[in-house]
Amino acid sequence: MTNHDQFYIGGKWVKPGNRERLDVINPATEEAIATISLGTQEDVDQAVITARDAFETFSQTSRKERLDLLKAIAVVYERRMEEMAETISHEMGAPANLAHKAHAPAGLGHLMAMIDVLKEFEFEEQIGTTQVVKEPIGVCGMITPWNWPINQITCKVIPALAAGCTMILKPSEIAPLSGMLFAEILDEAGVPAGVFNLINGDGPGVGTAISSHPDIDMVTFTGSTRAGIDVALKAAPSVKRVAQELGGKSANILLDDVNWEQAVSAGAIGCFGNTGQTCVAPTRMLVPHDKMDEAAKIASAAAENFKVGDPASEGTQMGPAVSLAQWEKIQNLIQVGIDEGAELVAGGVGKPDGLNRGYYVRPTVFARVKNDMTIAREEIFGPVLSIIGYGDEDDAISIANDTIYGLAGNVSSSDHDRACRVARQIRAGRIIVNYAGPDRMAPFGGYKRSGNGREWGRFGLEDFLEIKSIVGHNPG
C-alpha cells in the first residue's frame, strides 16, 4: 500500500497539518491500495493565498505563453498516459480496456481541443466606441468526481489555465490517485508555482472550505444534484460564480423506424458502460408500446452477454461499482424497482455468479416501467436500464421531458431529419442523434437540476472569463 499523504501547494509537495488519513480502496478487491491525508480549512487557506499571489503574474501571461504551457503538459501527459490508465483502473474499477481507450485519452483529448481553441479565441472585441475585453476570473476552486476522474479534472483545469486563472483542485477522495498523478504531470511540464494546487479531502471538510472561501472567485463542481445545491448555498454569501455539472436521467428515444436489434443493443450497452456510473448514461429507453416485448428481449440478451469481471482480465466489459456505498445504493434501487411492479427481465439484486469479492453488480433490465416509478425518476448511477413504453412521437417527447433533470438524451431514427427534429424538443443540454460519438469542441452541460454553465471547447474557456467594457476606447 502506498502512502500519498502530501498535498501539492505552491509548486511543492507539502505535508498537511491534519493527521487524519483515509484508505483508497480498489473496488475489485475491496483492499486498500493507498492512504491519503484529509485536508482542512487551514490547508485551503494556504492554497488560496498561494494561488492569489500567483494570479498577479499568471493572469498577465500572453496567449503564446499559455499555449506553450498547454503543449508542454500534453507532451508529458502523453508519455504518462498508460500510467494514468492503470491508476484509474485500480482506483475506481474501470476495465483496463476502457481505462486505456477512453478514460486516460479523455484527458489528452481535452488538452488538444483547448490548444486549438486558444489559438483562435478572441479575447477582445470592439463594439462601437467600447472595447470589450475578456479577462481571467481569478482564483478557481474545483471539486471533481470519481466516475470519470481525469476527464472531469482536465475539462476544468485546462481551460482555466488557458484563461490565465489559478486554481485549487479537490479530486474525489474515493479516486484521488489520478489527480495526484496529474499534479505530477503539471509540475514536470513547468506550470508556475502556485498556479495549480491540489488538496485531498472530503466534501464537508475541503469541499465546504473551497465553496465558502471569500477569496475564491469561482467554484466549478461536478457531482450529484444534492451536493451541487450545497455548494451553491455555501458559495452564495461571497457571490462567487458557480458552474455545475450535476445529475441526469437521460431518455433514449427509439422512434418506430429504427433497426431494433442495433438500436436497443447499443442503448443497453451505453447504459451498462463504466458500470452505469456516467451522468449522461441513457438509462430510460423509450419504445413504442407494441415494441416493448421485442425491445425487452434484445436488451435482456445484451445484459446477459455483457461480460462482468476483473478489470485486469482481457475481455471484461464491466468492472465493479466504485464503493460499497455505491453498490448498496444500486442494490436498494433495483429492489425498489421490483417492489413497485416493474418487470425484471435481466439481472437483479446480488452479485454476478462467481464474483464474491468486489463491488460487482448484475447488468439489470426492467421492462414496462412507468415514468413515475422510482427507478425512472432517480439517478441510480449503476447498470440499470428502464424500458418505458410510449404512444406516439409527442408522447415520447413528453415522457422524455418529464424529469427534474436535463443533462442529456438520445434520439434514434432511420430518418436523420426526423431524429434532429425530435432532438430539438428535448429539454436537455446534449442530445445525441443515432449514437454519434462525442465532440470535445461542443458545449457540455445541463438544463434544470442538471446544472448550469458549460464545459468543453470554447464554451468551457468562456466560463473562466470575466467580461469588461472599456467605454470610449477608440482604436487608432
Told to judge if 140 belongs to the known catalytic residues of this protein, a careful annotator would answer: no
Q: Is the dihedral of CA 70, 141, 163, 52 positive or negative?
A: negative
- pLDDT higher than 90, residue 474: no
Which residues neighbour 454 within 8 Å (Cβ) at sequence distance 6 or greater?
Answer: 429, 443, 444, 445, 460, 462, 463
- pLDDT higher than 70, residue 228: yes
CB 351 within 8 A of CB 361: yes
Can you list the alpha helix ranges (DSSP code H) found in 284-364? 292-305, 324-339
- pLDDT higher than 90, residue 316: yes
List the beta bridge partners of residue 412: 254
Which residues neighbour 170 within 8 Å (Cβ) at sequence distance 6 or greater?
Answer: 39, 141, 142, 143, 144, 198, 199, 200, 201, 206, 207, 210
SS (H, E, C) 30-68: CEEEEEEECCCHHHHHHHHHHHHHHHHHHCCCCHHHHHH
pLDDT tens-digit series, residues 73-84 = 999 999 999 999
3-class DSSP state for residue 116?
A: helix
- pLDDT higher than 80, residue 3: no
List the beta bridge partners of residue 221: 143, 244
* Host H or E run for residue 435: none
Told to judge if 279 belongs to the known catalytic residues of this protein, a careful annotator would answer: yes
List the beta bridge partners of residue 470: 131
Q: How far apart are CA 358 and CA 360, in angstroms?
A: 6
pLDDT at 18: 80
Taking the alpha carbons at both ends of the chain, their separation in whole angstroms is 64
CB 38 within 8 A of CB 227: no
* Host H or E run for residue 355: none
Catalytic residue among 173, 245, 379, 455: 245
Which residues belong to CATH 3.40.309.10 in the chain? 251-440
Q: Which fold has domain 2-246+450-471?
A: Aldehyde Dehydrogenase; Chain A, domain 1 (3.40.605)
pLDDT at 200: 97
- Per-residue CA distances from 214 to 140, 193, 353, 452 (Å): 11, 22, 52, 21
| Closest by CA position to 127, among listed 461, 476, 470 | 470
pLDDT tens-digit series, residues 121-139 = 999 999 999 999 999 999 9
Domain 251-440 has CATH 3.40.309.10: yes
Which residues belong to CATH 3.40.605.10 in the chain? 2-246+450-471
User: pLDDT above 90 covers what percent of the chain?
Assistant: 97
For cell 413504442, name the residue.
288
* Host H or E run for residue 427: none
* Host H or E run for residue 220: strand 218-222
Task: Give the number of other Cβ atoms within 10 Å of residue 369's Cβ.
Answer: 25
pLDDT at 476: 62
Q: What pTM, to 2 d.p., does this model score? A: 0.97
Task: Write out the three cell numbers for 6.
Answer: 502530501
How confident is residue 252, by pLDDT bands cut at 50, 70 and 90? very high
